[in-house]
Amino acid sequence: MKKKIISTILCISLLSGTVPIFASNSSDYNITVFDSDMTIIGNEKDVKEVCLESGKKVATSDLLHFDSVEEMRAYASTIINRDSSKVLNPQIMATDKVALVDRLHYSAYSIGLYVSYGTSKNGNRGHITYQYPFTQLSGVTIGVEWQENNIFSQIRGGKDIYAQANGTLNITSVVGGNITLEKIPVHLSGSIMAVR
């Protein structure tokens, strides 16, 4: 919460033409709620720079541009494919590993759930000594941010690790000349076989 307040103060104190997208009082910034998932922030001609929820500033000209809401939503929320349960560093002698639990691939970016874990013996043998889940946004992410709401993992049956994460993809783009914020809820989950 403290980080968000500091980010708000920083964004408000920036040069004229910068609009914070996380304004708590919509009347202060003329934010119009388009529907339950999309917010119109301002007009592309009036706003030269946008301050994202993380506090990062992005030039309006660098954001993705779309002609319609339907075009933007098709781009932003269409899952191209999903992959899961892959050990990413399968060295036989290693006791520390990172595994992909679940990953959603969208048009130009992906969000993945991973788990870092260790085993008591080389080659995925013995027992699980630790497990740490994490998420990562990758790809073309200008105007795209990942907000992790919760993450969890647990050892199951002594050999498997189950992990899940919930969050929101925040996509700031220009749609028909209006700067918009689209929030897409994401759920990732799955299991990996850590010990064979």
Q: Are strands 18-20 and 49-51 parallel, antiparallel or unpaired?
A: parallel
Q: Are strands 144-156 and 125-139 parallel, antiparallel or unpaired?
A: unpaired
**3-state percent helix, strand, coil for the chain, nearest multiple of 5:** 15, 55, 30
Return the structure tokens found at 32: 């119009």
DSSP character at residue 10? H
What are the pLDDT digits (tens) for 171-195?
A: 899 999 999 888 888 899 998 888 8
Tell me the β-bridge partners of 156.
160
What are the pLDDT digits (tens) for 84-138?
A: 666 555 554 467 788 889 988 887 888 999 999 988 887 777 888 899 999 999 9
Is the distance from CB of 151 to CB of 164 less than 8 angstroms?
A: yes
173-194: b (≥16 Cβ within 10 Å) or e: bbbeebbbbbebebebebbbeb
What are the pLDDT digits (tens) for 32-49?
A: 333 336 788 888 888 888
What are the pLDDT digits (tens) for 53-84?
A: 888 899 999 998 999 888 887 777 676 667 76
Is the distance from CB of 161 to CB of 87 less than 8 angstroms?
A: no
Please state, in angstroms and rounded to a whole number, the distance separating the CA atoms of residues 151 and 127: 23
Tell me the β-bridge partners of 191.
162
Report helix, strand or coil for 121. strand
Cα of 42 vs its chain's centroid, Å: 23
Is the distance from CB of 29 to CB of 16 less than 8 angstroms?
A: no
Tell me the β-bridge partners of 117.
97, 131
Is the distance from CB of 158 to CB of 51 less than 8 angstroms?
A: no
